[in-house]
Structure formats: C-alpha cells, structure tokens
C-alpha cells in the first residue's frame, strides 16, 4: 500500500523564539492530534535557529523552478486600506505580509510592505497564547519561524482589518514578516500569502476561514482558466453555477488540518492500477492551490512516468490520460481524469518538441506518503472548498474559450508564448476580472502569472490599479 499513513501529522513547522537563559519547550496543539512543538525565546535571539521541516505547500522548490505558475489575488489591509497581492494557498494556514521593518531581506524590499504604524486600526500582539494582549514595548513580542519546502520566514503577530472584497472585511490576526529567505520570495509576483487550509493555523485567531465566519469565507470556490488569457477567480461564500459544466462530485475530508481526501485508485488510459487503496488511511491526497504541479512519493511518480511512457523529447508522440478515482457521497467511485495536454507542458525548440509532465516527487510530508493535487487538477475541475461540511467538490470547469484551439501556453525557442485568442473571443477583459456579487457570494478576479502577469495592470503608489 504505497500511501499508508504513518500516523504523523503534516505540518509547516512552527517555532517561536524567545530570549531566555535556558530554552523551554512547550507543546501546543496545532491540530487535534498529535501536537507540534513550540520553542520559545525572545524575538531578538536567533543564535540557535532550528532547521526547517519540509512543508507541502506552494514553496515546493522544483515545482516553482520548472513550471513557475501562480494565481494571485488582491486584498486590502489596514485603515486607510492598502492593497496587496497574495497567493491563495490551500496548503498553508496563515496570512503573511512583509513588514515595513523588514529592511535586511531582499525578498521584503522588492515587495510592498505592511506598515503597522500607518494603520489606525492596527494593534501589535505580544504572545501567541493571547490573541489580543498588546506588548509592553516593541521588543516584548514573540517571533514565529515558519518553514516550508524551499523557504522560511520569521514574523511577529499583529491584528488589523483585512478585506477580501468590498464589504467583506474582518479584524483578524496575521503574521507580519520581519525576515524572509530570498528563495522563493524574492522573485515572487505576490507580496504575501493567504493561507486557506482549514485547520493548521498557529491558533484559531489566525485562521482566515474561521475569522470570517460561516457563510463568508468558510466556503469558497476556485476557477482557473485553461490558458493565461482565460482569467481566474475566487468566489467567497459559495460558487458560481455558470462555472459548472457537470454535476459536482463531493468528497469528504479524511484527516483534519488540510483539504485531505482519500483516493480509491489511480488510472492510466482509463485502466485502474489496483494500488490497494481499501485499507484504512491508505491512498491519501491533499488539494493544494499553492502547488503548480501534481506531486507524490518518488517511487509512485517514477512508476507513473514509466507506465505512461513519458519522454522528454516527444515530437509526434501521444500519451495516455491520468486519472484519480475518488469516492463520492453516495459511495460510488468517480473519476478526475486529465488528458496529456492537461498534465504536461510542451516546448518547441529548433523544430523539436519537448514535454515536461506536471509530475514531481515530494519528500517527507509528516503525514506519510501523500499525493498533492495541484493546479493541473484545479484547472480542469471547478473546485469548491466547503469548510462547514468538511468536504471538497469537483465539477468540470466551464471554460470561456478565450484562448484559441491550441490548449496550452508553451515555450517556443526559449520564449514563453501565451496561447492565441480564439477568433470569436472579444479582446475586452474577461468578465470575471471585475468584482461580482450574487446573493451572499462575492467573486473577485485572480491574476495568472507566469514570468509576467496577465493582464498587465499598472499600479499607483497606493497599490490600486490606475
């Protein structure tokens, strides 16, 4: 059983540093069971930083280096409101913004930074244990160390107004980053992170879904266009029926913390691999909007590539479909199936076609072997994340066909080329690029970025579009 859980918990490791003569270790539950260790020192002492654990979020280094695709949203923080760009990451659990005090890190200096003192509604938070206690002075604050697969940040706690859309605002706790590693933050097209995992935040006051309450952000849906010109959007509070091209398949979450579901099997060309997924805790997968690829244990990825006969040079070659069987609410197996053009990139160079599958191995996750269902799955399927019912819904996405018949953006002779517009498509901005409200739902655009962002809007000093 290649995906049997080992009983550990997948987590982005959380360390809090406090300067004391003797280090003390306190156990704090980040999830129901088991717990994570929280190491405390004063914020100024960085002499004995622990090595970061591998996370399973948007910071997977190889994923970002090869495919480098982001969908970026905009939100506002503080009073007066300042607009920031952020990656929407269902694989992490906190809101992160670079602090105005983050001078030493190039990753901070290259992005818009949050100024605590410029907001009339802000309040610094002293300790993680108390979500409202103000520090005696600016040195009397804990520093959190968040480590991911290919980067790490150090940040302090703050409380301020956060607006996901017009009229959709809450005062909540988040992390202002005071130091960040250059990789991958320096080259990022976004300033911060909106962590949307259901239950892995440092404390409940830092959980965005819980802070916004039921009926607003506890249910949200992601639409990612087939091509970069096809737009992308997030709907807070529900989903848009016009984005749906098939009945939903609803799959219950299996383990608290992440958007984690059980797979019944994998298929190649429609044929089941019979991986033995009937055992308890076997064949687990996490739906992760922060991953630009599909990831899994090294031996599984190797097996898939061999059985699919994938090769780097692929001129005039065809490849089979790749499917993920999931059990719906009625107990019947349903298929989430991707064609070759949906799970790989193609690149032309000097008359030769190269194929780069969106399949990459992932190291230790803390939850045993896990399959990460990233953007290739989320582009094919309109996905609803339902924190209230603890389930994920998949339906074929109703794509707008703004891109031409060629399904993929690709590289040609070393230059990234966006798929051409379909003849019938208007050259106006796709309708989803404006905030839309329907009943209690609010839909806001996401900005696809790959090397550059589309559309290429200019911004002023306040961060708002000109």
Residue 89 appears among annotated catalytic residues: yes
Angle at 415 between CA 413 and CA 421, to 5 degrees: 110
Q: Which of 70, 89, 191, 386 is catalytic?
A: 89
Residue 383 in tokens: 């996905």
DSSP state of 185: H
* Pairing assessment for the beta strands 441-450 and 415-417 based on DSSP bridges: unpaired
Contact assessment for residue 14 and residue 202, using Cβ atoms and an 8 Å cutoff: yes
Specify whether 8 is catalytic. Answer: no
Please report, for residues 266, 290, 344, the alpha-carbon distance to residue 312 in angstroms, rounded to integers and kept in the order given: 23, 25, 11
Q: How far apart are CA 443 and CA 436, in angstroms?
A: 5
Name 54's Cβ contacts closer than 8 Å, sequence gap at least 6: 148, 149, 363, 364, 365, 366
Catalytic residue among 199, 265, 288, 409: 288
For 227, residues 6+ apart whose C-beta sits below 8 A from its C-beta are: 402, 403, 407, 408, 409, 418, 419
Beta-carbon contacts of residue 100 (< 8 Å; ≥ 6 apart):
113, 114, 115, 116, 117, 118
Measured from the Cβ of residue 203, the count of other Cβ atoms closer than 10 Å reads: 17
DSSP, residue by residue, 11-61: ---EEEE---SS-EEEEE-SSSSS-EEEEE--TT--TTPPPPPP--STT-H
Which of the 8 DSSP states describes residue 405? S
How, if at all, do strands 359-361 and 294-296 pair? parallel
Active site residues: 89, 288
């Amino acid at each position: 059983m290649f995906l049997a859980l080992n009983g550990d918990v997948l987590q982005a490791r959380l360390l809090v540093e406090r300067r004391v003569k003797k280090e003390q270790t306190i156990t704090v539950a980040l999830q129901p069971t088991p717990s994570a260790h929280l190491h405390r020192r004063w914020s100024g002492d960085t002499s004995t930083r622990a090595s970061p654990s591998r996370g399973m979020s948007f910071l997977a280094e190889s994923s970002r280096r090869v495919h480098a695709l982001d969908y970026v949203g905009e939100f506002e923080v503080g009073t007066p409101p300042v607009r920031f760009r952020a990656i929407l990451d269902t694989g992490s659990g906190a809101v992160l913004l670079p602090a105005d005090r983050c001078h030493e890190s190039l990753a901070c200096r290259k992005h818009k930074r949050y100024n605590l003192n410029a907001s009339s509604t802000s309040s610094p938070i002293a300790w993680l244990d108390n979500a409202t206690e103000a520090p005696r002075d600016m040195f009397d604050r804990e520093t959190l160390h968040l480590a991911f697969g290919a980067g790490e940040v150090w940040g302090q706690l703050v409380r301020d107004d956060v607006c996901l859309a017009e009229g959709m605002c809450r005062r909540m706790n988040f992390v202002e980053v005071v130091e960040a590693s250059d990789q991958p933050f320096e080259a990022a097209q976004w300033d911060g992170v909106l962590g949307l995992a259901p239950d892995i935040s440092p404390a409940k006051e830092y959980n965005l879904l819980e802070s916004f309450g039921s009926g607003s952000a506890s249910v949200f849906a992601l639409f990612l266009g087939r091509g970069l010109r096809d737009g992308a959007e997030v709907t807070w509070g529900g989903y848009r029926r016009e984005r749906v091209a098939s009945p939903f398949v609803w799959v219950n979450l299996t383990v608290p913390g992440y958007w984690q579901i059980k797979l019944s099997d994998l298929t190649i060309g429609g044929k089941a691999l019979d991986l033995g997924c009937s055992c308890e805790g076997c064949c687990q997968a996490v739906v992760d909007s922060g991953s630009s690829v599909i990831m899994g244990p090294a031996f599984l990825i190797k097996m898939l590539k061999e059985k699919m006969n994938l090769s780097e040079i692929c001129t005039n070659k065809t490849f089979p479909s790749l499917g993920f069987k999931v059990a719906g609410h009625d107990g019947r197996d349903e298929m989430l199936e991707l064609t070759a053009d949906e799970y790989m990139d193609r690149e032309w160079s000097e008359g030769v076609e190269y194929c780069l599958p969106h399949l990459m191995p992932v190291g230790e996750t803390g939850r045993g072997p896990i399959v990460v269902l990233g953007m290739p799955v989320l582009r094919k399927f309109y996905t609803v994340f339902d924190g209230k019912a603890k389930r994920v819904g998949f339906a074929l996405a109703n794509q707008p066909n703004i891109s031409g018949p060629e399904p993929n953006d690709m590289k040609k002779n070393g230059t990234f080329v966006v798929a051409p517009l379909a003849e019938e498509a208007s050259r106006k901005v796709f309708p989803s690029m404006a905030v839309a409200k329907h009943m209690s739902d609010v839909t806001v655009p996401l900005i696809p970025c790959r090397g550059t962002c589309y559309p290429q809007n200019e911004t002023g000093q306040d961060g708002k579009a000109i």
